[in-house]
């Protein structure tokens, strides 16, 4: 079931006063709507971001403006907690490496 089908199903259940299914809650609906609001016409996937994550981290360490250089990547990082965590882990490793000092 895709995002829109899930949203439609939740709204239908709640409008009929049926109990929550699979842990679905108004909070879950709000989270889905927020994610939808942040989508753009052009998006890139986690795989595409992870493929260039080393370049992003190196650019950040050099003080470059990643949002200007790679706006789609930056948008994805702003909206994807998993990719952002990967970037933060990579930055910690790079900062701790002897080459960074």
Cα 85 from Cα 50, distance rounded (Å): 11
- Quote the percentage of the chain above a pLDDT of 70: 70
Burial label, 42 (beta-carbon count in 10 A; 0-12, 13-18, 19+): exposed
Decide if 46 contacts 87 (C-beta within 8 A): no
Q: How far apart are the first and last CA of the chain?
A: 49
What pTM value is reported for the model?
A: 0.62
97: confidence class by pLDDT, cuts 50, 70, 90: confident
Residue 46: count other Cβ atoms within 10 Å of its Cβ: 13
More confident residue, 50 or 21: 50
Q: What is the pLDDT of residue 23?
A: 57
Q: Is the pLDDT of residue 11 over 90?
A: no
Q: What is the pLDDT of residue 3?
A: 66
């Amino acid at each position: 079931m895709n995002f829109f089908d899930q949203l439609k199903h939740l709204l239908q259940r709640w409008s009929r006063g049926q109990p929550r299914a699979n842990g679905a809650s108004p909070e879950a609906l709000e989270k889905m709507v927020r994610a939808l609001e942040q989508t753009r016409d052009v998006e890139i996937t986690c795989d595409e971001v992870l493929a260039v994550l080393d370049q992003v981290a190196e650019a950040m360490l050099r003080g470059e403006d990643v949002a200007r250089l790679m706006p789609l990547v930056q948008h994805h990082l702003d909206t994807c907690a998993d990719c952002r965590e990967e970037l933060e882990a990579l930055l910690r490793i790079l900062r701790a490496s002897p080459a960074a000092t």
